[in-house]
Amino acid sequence: MAADYRQMWTELGLDLPSHDALLGVLGQAYGDIYLSQKDRPQGMQYFDFVMSEVHGLRIKELRDAQGNDRKVIGSFCVFVPEELILAVDGISVGLCAGAEFGFDKAEEVLPRNTCALIKSAFGFKLGKVCPYVESSDMIVGENTCDGKKKAYELLKELVKNLFILDLPQMKSEAGKALLKAEYQRFAKALEELSGKKITVQSLKKGIELVNQKRKAIHRLSDLRKHSPAPISGLDALLINQVFFYDDPVRFTASVNKICDELEQRVSKGEGVRGNGTPRIVISGSPMAVPNWKIPWIVETSGAIIVGEESCVGERGTQWLTNESGNSVEQLIDNIVERYFQIDCAIFTPNPTRLEHIKSMVKKYRAQGVIHYSLQFCQPYQIESGPVEKALEAEGMPVLRIDTDYSQEDAGQIKTRVEAFIERIKG
Ligand code: BJ8
């Protein structure tokens, strides 16, 4: 960290020795996984800086904003509309955690066979190492998978202001009506918390800001269609992870800046790997920061990841919200239309997800799909079978990996990934 933030962390109630240990491990992992990559775009320096200050400067910014009467809203799911948060001049931050930290404490309250993403969120809270949780004026939980739904009942006892968003499980008219009613209830809660009214103007501005963020990500994704790919999958994943933490305007500008650089690379036929490098689409459970295990294994085994069918990836960013409308209700309808398309595996049935994976394979000219499920993530584990069957039937090689946040199985996964890459190469 460039500055000493210990006073700030103490005020937030963090456990400083544990927090120091976490930052030490993260710094080491970042150096080994990210900084050791060759031919990185210069524009990644911004994201390196963001990561080096993710518990420092960004938290200070949040606290300064709170001093200026802005509220910080933490959430765990891409169904929470940032547009509404921005419409009350709030700040949205992602709280999903991707590191195995505090699992011993988490397992005192949660069953061992809970997915690592949920355990990690609890571990960070109980271990007092997450400045985002401690900075949040409201935390939004959502009724998605059973693990999250039930874990929020326990989280309610641990945090000061937990708002539960009920979500549909089927893409029916009744499901859409539920989503609308819930977004309206959430909008009201945001107005009460902030003391600010959502207006047509403020909501339009929120929609525009989030759309610009998504458009910048679409531009980045488009550039990954080229061969050789101008950016590694690891770096692209990092940008998708930072999406959830950074100031939206600054983030958009930084992504567009790196895209300018990548366009130059593409025009010169330059990339981070050679032309014949096997191209992989990764699909499945979300990869919250700092969960870089699978991309790191794939990209140190001779392949490159060219797309992520994930909530930290295209499932989370692929649609824009219609910006036109003359009333708040109309704009909320637009938001409902946009979010109702998200094909999370908690929906039943969920056919559009498979179609999306197929379209990504085509768009990014992938030669193989790695389906990644977190252990005990039943929605994605169960969908992985039909996904594999359907893609293999069309001649697309699929590797299914079930894993967690530990490094114990890294060697075994690497062996399987290497064999898969050999299969792709034919
Ligand atoms: S919209 S994927 S962000 S719910 S990994 S906790 S599903 S057992 S994170 Fe998700 Fe929203 Fe869906 Fe996306 Fe449960 Fe699976 Fe754990 Fe998960």
CA distance 302 to 49: 27
- Residue whose CA is closest, atom 4 of ligand 1? 144
Q: Which of 158, 181, 180 lies closest to 74 in space, CA to CA? A: 158
Q: 311 CB under 6 A from ligand 1?
A: yes
CA distance 409 to 245: 29
- Residue whose CA is closest, atom 9 of ligand 1? 286
Beta carbons of 195 and 206 less than 8 angstroms apart: no
CA distance 83 to 210: 6
Note the pLDDT tens digit of each residue in 12-63: 999 999 999 999 999 999 999 999 999 999 999 999 999 999 999 999 999 9
User: Which of 113, 309, 346 maximizes ligand 1 atoms within 8 Å of its Cβ, making it the mutation to test the pocket?
Assistant: 346
Q: In the chain, what percentage of residues exceed pLDDT 70?
A: 99
**Ligand 1 atom having least distance to the Cα of 146:** 14
The full DSSP string for 79-118 is TS-HHHHHHTT-EEEE----S--SHHHHHHHS-TTS-HHH
Q: 79 CB under 6 A from ligand 1?
A: yes
Q: Which of 175, 184, 173, 191 lies closest to 81 in space, CA to CA? A: 184
Question: Ligand 1 center to residue 103 CA distance, Å?
Answer: 18
How many other CB atoms sit within 10 Å of the CB of residue 330? 13
CA distance 29 to 37: 12
CA distance 290 to 337: 31
Q: 374 CB under 6 A from ligand 1?
A: yes
- Residue whose CA is closest, atom 8 of ligand 1? 377
Count of CA atoms in the C-beta half-sphere (13 A) of 426: 4
Three-class secondary structure of residue 305 per DSSP: strand
Confidence of residue 231 (pLDDT cuts 50, 70, 90): very high
- pLDDT at position 282 is 98
- Residue whose CA is closest, atom 12 of ligand 1? 344
User: What pTM did the predictor assign?
Assistant: 0.98
Name beta bridge partners: 280. 305, 368
Residue with tokens 């992504």: 255
Q: 254 CB under 6 A from ligand 1?
A: no
User: Which of 75, 148, 310 maximizes ligand 1 atoms within 8 Å of its Cβ, making it the mutation to test the pocket?
Assistant: 148
- Residue 66, pLDDT > 50, answer yes
- Residue whose CA is closest, atom 3 of ligand 1? 77
Mean pLDDT of the chain: 97
- pLDDT at position 3 is 66
Q: 297 CB under 6 A from ligand 1?
A: no
For residue 237, the 8-state DSSP code is H
E strand or H helix at 175? helix 173-194
